[in-house]
Structure 1
């Protein structure tokens, strides 16, 4: 691993006069797994888009295998062996695995006809080299999300990739699928393929990566071997200071005579919510843990009126409620931060202000006309309170980082003065600094007397904020554990895994 396959020197990039990358240097060795880390907005994505030809650099140079490169588009980068697997899948569900692997690059026979036999044969070889069991003839819509990720990797390898960039590759994977992915990464590494690994999950970095480069505010902070840096030191380099108690559990006082605000009794919905019962109290942060597919997201979608309820009851403030739509849920004082903030929680083409006021249009209008001065004042106050990084409240939401987008989804419900806030994976895909800020915001919401239900696969964050944790398995709540009785993540993991 002595040979340096990639050198990016003194890279500069600005948009509309705002510097995003300031003389960034980035070097990667052949056959290593190199983590690229930093907070949302640190410049990671911009640097990788320059490497893959999506953006063109303003100043600096790129060397691959000792040769200077200039990329005008992604095809230029692919020709020299640079490929990227993005967080959002690029597969077509109605096509087979093989057809997706060779999409736009299909092998041809005479007269330009697609050589299906060769395409399937070549796909089978790539899949075998990866060490996974999947048929090239399977339709993508019929395979698990884990195999979608593996198909994306196979697609990149079909282009004779030498440098493979993975952006949050485990965000949709189960624990077993993540282990399979790490096994594939190690096989790729042994074959000489270099991997640039982007993730906010600290434990993954130390498990699978060799070295780490941290960016902050568009500049280099540190490059170090994983063996030579502690997790605490890494976090401090990412956020530019100590995290303090943000991601450590602080016992919150339980108010006497607190009342149930949300009661779910024997809820049934679809095939994954079979018999769910729980109670959420005023001022409580109630966590919900379970494996992917256990029915957690489907449960909160049903409570919020997104999915139809086929059995059971929902009580709000002691009264039975029939909630058939999100509109009716909002009228009862519920708010949902969905798992996929980009497609379900925000209108990306709209501004910060327009997204924030959506649930509160009635309260901010007189005679069906929005009172813009009042709306501006309230949105600006929330942006300041939640520390949303934006030029102004009229900026398009799609231009914000993931952490700031997530804060805006929270801001919507704070402006609407929601009493029952349901959060589905609130810290997914955001950097460690934003995670800490979101945990603090959730604590403040509960301290004000509002109730919070949190679904999360991020065990560290779930344990840091919850007063009580529900264990969900196969569409049912199997146990409820007071946080003060939990000594560590392992206890919750065991509870999730045990049979009912």
Structure 2
């Protein structure tokens, strides 16, 4: 794990040759169809010349890839490159308009997710497909329930415990999914795929909500599945995870395959260069100077407790300051953000905004006072997926573009177009269908909702979850821009490295409490984790530690 150095470094590509078309690093001879010298019995999924369009928008062009049996095959590329669409065609959610798809040597045409399951294909979606009002156990075995003569019978609990021995996620089978955190829901989705005994498992951003320790557990599970001959198609923006755990990689750009190759010889930098189509350094933006300690805080919590588990939390955030919350899943980070936004109730302690007590703060009052929250679940809590880009961007600031309750459509359109240009949202349409945008572009729309009127306090909960490296860098730049404009920022992220590199100060959390404060210039990831585990009374070097 790396520390908090903000100086970009030049890294060797690790590749000896370059492509003729782009001049980018390449590694050895590559079959353009992705499977040179492989026999049919070694290929779990074969795609040839696959294309897919929605209306006039072409999302996949001439996709030819071989996914080998008993291997972990990564799909990488920027948001909108087509990675998830490839997975959805294999998983039966999309039908190819052109080309052929073979599953275990048999050509399939139009087939549904149910048909895919019958062929041994299961998909874990980035946007989770769970039933919130059912329990963990019921979601895991949905459609696979124990029954006798068509009547459900007791017996799934023993099956769940056997499955838990394989997955080792530590989930309560009787917990209702609606009450679980995003990371725990992601584990349920993974268990559901494993429970179906699929031979081919498509994992779309499986670690996007997991801590590093939880990600290691997932990767250990993937290794066990691979040893059993399973094929894992791994879609992720976490390039370190891909390099460490995948056998082969397909780089995609603009709906096309750039190349498919062995992971040997790839580096994080070479993958980024291939994804972007140009050499590009991986770096963190320089932070503006931190406000002086004498500057009065914009917000202050004093010994705050909440009915969601906060226990005597005290913190301050000054205008123009980026303050990070450093802790593991379940430490209370999101709960602090929700309290500051008026979404959760304070049971004791005080919350001051501009020195004024906010005893009965509501979300509506928070927005009126210039407070903004980008939640961790953009689809369920941040966006209105039945609406287009325009109302999604305008929703929080309608009073600024209305007179006597009548909306000014010309002014609204101009503001939305400005945000589309500012963030580089694709497609560049004011009335684009947000529900079908890539994760990174959905996140940009959500950020635009608050950026269109510069907020006084911006609470960012997992702002770069499930986005590509290009979108991630733009989001990081946006955070710095907001701080430079005088906005106070609270940054919450499961990626401790992200918090450290983008924050002036950090509060370390565990069990709903803040137990330490540190300057992020003097902190690194390993030290932060060691302090957290020490606070929990756990051995940070033990492979058996469980983070929930």
Give the TM-score normalised by structure 2.
0.83
Equivalent in 41, 57, 68 of residue 96 of structure 2: 57
Q: Does 2:111 match 1:67?
A: no
Q: In 2 relative to 1, CA 36–443 (structure 1 residues): closer, same or farther, beyond 3 Å?
A: same
Do the aligned partners of 2:510 and 2:532 also contact (CA within 8 Å) in 1?
yes
Do the aligned partners of 1:280 and 1:453 also contact (CA within 8 Å) in 2?
yes
Equivalent in 79, 85, 89 of residue 40 of structure 1: 79
Equivalent in 460, 480, 494 of residue 457 of structure 1: 494
Displacement after TM superposition at 1:380 (Å): 1.0
Displacement after TM superposition at 1:98 (Å): 5.5
Most deviating of 248-257 and 49-58: 248-257
Q: Distance in 1 between matches of 2:327 and 2:306?
A: 17
Do the aligned partners of 1:323 and 1:329 also contact (CA within 8 Å) in 2?
no
Displacement after TM superposition at 1:489 (Å): 2.1
Equivalent in 366, 370, 392 of residue 355 of structure 1: 392
Aligned counterpart, 2:411: 374
Q: Does 2:45 match 1:6?
A: yes
Aligned counterpart, 2:288: 252
Do the aligned partners of 2:50 and 2:62 also contact (CA within 8 Å) in 1?
yes
Q: Distance in 1 between matches of 2:237 and 2:256?
A: 18
In the comparison of the two structures, how many residue pairs are matched?
494
Q: Output one character per residue of 1:283-316: Cα deviation in whole Å (capped at 9) or x when no partner.
A: 1111111111111100110111000011122222
Q: Distance in 2 between matches of 1:221 and 1:176?
A: 32
Aligned counterpart, 2:226: 189
Aligned counterpart, 2:67: 28
In structure 2, the gaps of 5 or more residues are 1-37, 537-548
Aligned counterpart, 2:4: none
Do the aligned partners of 1:269 and 1:299 also contact (CA within 8 Å) in 2?
no
Q: Does 2:531 match 1:495?
A: yes
Q: Does 2:179 match 1:141?
A: no
Determine which structure has greater relative contact order: mean sequence separation of CA pairs < 8 Å that are 6+ residues apart, divided by chain length. 2
Give the TM-score normalised by structure 1.
0.91
Most deviating of 300-309 and 166-175: 166-175
Do the aligned partners of 2:301 and 2:313 also contact (CA within 8 Å) in 1?
yes
Specify the SS of the correspondent of 1:457: coil
Q: Output one character per residue of 1:178-234: Cα deviation in whole Å (capped at 9) or x when no partner.
A: 333222211111110111111222222123222211111101123233331011111
Do the aligned partners of 2:126 and 2:466 also contact (CA within 8 Å) in 1?
no
Q: Does 2:424 match 1:404?
A: no
Q: Output one character per residue of 1:349-374: Cα deviation in whole Å (capped at 9) or x when no partner.
A: 11211111112111211111011111
Displacement after TM superposition at 1:437 (Å): 0.4
Most deviating of 222-231 and 350-359: 222-231
Q: In 2 relative to 1, CA 123–204 (structure 1 residues): closer, same or farther, beyond 3 Å?
A: same
Alignment of 1:101-112 (within 5 A): 101-106=140-145, 108-110=147-149, 112=150
Q: In 2 relative to 1, CA 387–294 (structure 1 residues): closer, same or farther, beyond 3 Å?
A: same
Q: Distance in 2 between matches of 1:152 and 1:115?
A: 23
Do the aligned partners of 1:285 and 1:451 also contact (CA within 8 Å) in 2?
yes
In structure 1, the gaps of 5 or more residues are none
Aligned counterpart, 2:238: 201
Q: Distance in 2 between matches of 1:350 and 1:132?
A: 40
Displacement after TM superposition at 1:12 (Å): 0.8
